[in-house]
Amino acid sequence: MKNIIILISGGGSNMAAIVETARRDDWAGRYGARVAAVLSNKAEAKGLVFARSKGITTDVLDHKGFATREAFDEALATRIDGVAQPGEATLVVLAGFMRILTPVFVSRYAGRLVNIHPSLLPAFPGLHTHQRAIDAGCKFAGATVHLVTAELDHGPILAQAVVPVLPGDTADALAARVLTQEHLIYPRGIADLLQKV
């Protein structure tokens, strides 16, 4: 069995889209994969409520309880690795997990660590992507599913979706249109990767 561990910090709408797609498209039967757990660095993350309602194991590891980023990431990796049985593969999916991960953590899950970013990478890595796209006069924006590397918002691209930037767009309006596409391409990118891991 391939175990998908989803990391969240908030509402978890991308996590919910992945969970629903996995069930609807029978990832267990097609790919031998299941969403095994949802972990958060915030106890109040609303996505945990959704995960529990679907019978998915949840866990909270508050980053504020650790003196260093490295100590937190080591503890997080221990929790992730504790979900899988020996010999099972683990895919770690970042779905609004608002932490920059250390190179040691990233290398531990190399090729099995996935993120989604709300821009057409390599354009606009980092924060405030929608406003930056509007300010730059972009005619199109979008989202990118990619493998995580040590360099922030880089790594091999697994899927992208394009949305138009409309006249008079605000960052919030553009973000909402991009998010609808994120919910479609993130599960698709993960499904493609499951066939390779």
* Spatial distance between the Cα atoms of 54 and 36, rounded to a whole number of angstroms: 11
Domain ranges of the chain: 2-115+145-155+183-194
Select from 107, 88, 99, 96 the least CA-distant residue to 34: 88
What would the pLDDT profile of 179-196 be if each residue is shown by its tens digit?
Answer: 999 999 999 999 999 998
Tokens representing 55 are 């019978």
Among candidate residues 117, 130, 146, 183, the one labeled active-site is: 117
What would the pLDDT profile of 38-66 be if each residue is shown by its tens digit?
Answer: 999 999 999 999 999 999 999 999 999 99
Confidence band for 145, pLDDT divided at 50, 70 and 90 = very high
2-115+145-155+183-194 adopts what CATH topology? Rossmann fold (3.40.50)
* Spatial distance between the Cα atoms of 43 and 10, rounded to a whole number of angstroms: 9
- Asked whether the predicted pLDDT for residue 84 surpasses 90, the reply is no
Q: Say whether 63 is catalytic.
A: no
Q: What is the pTM of this model?
A: 0.96
Contact by Cβ (8 Å): 48, 62: no
Mean pLDDT of the region 75-98: 93
- Asked whether the predicted pLDDT for residue 197 surpasses 90, the reply is no
Residues 6+ apart with CB under 8 A from 45: 8, 9, 10, 11, 12, 60
Average pLDDT over the chain, rounded to an integer: 96
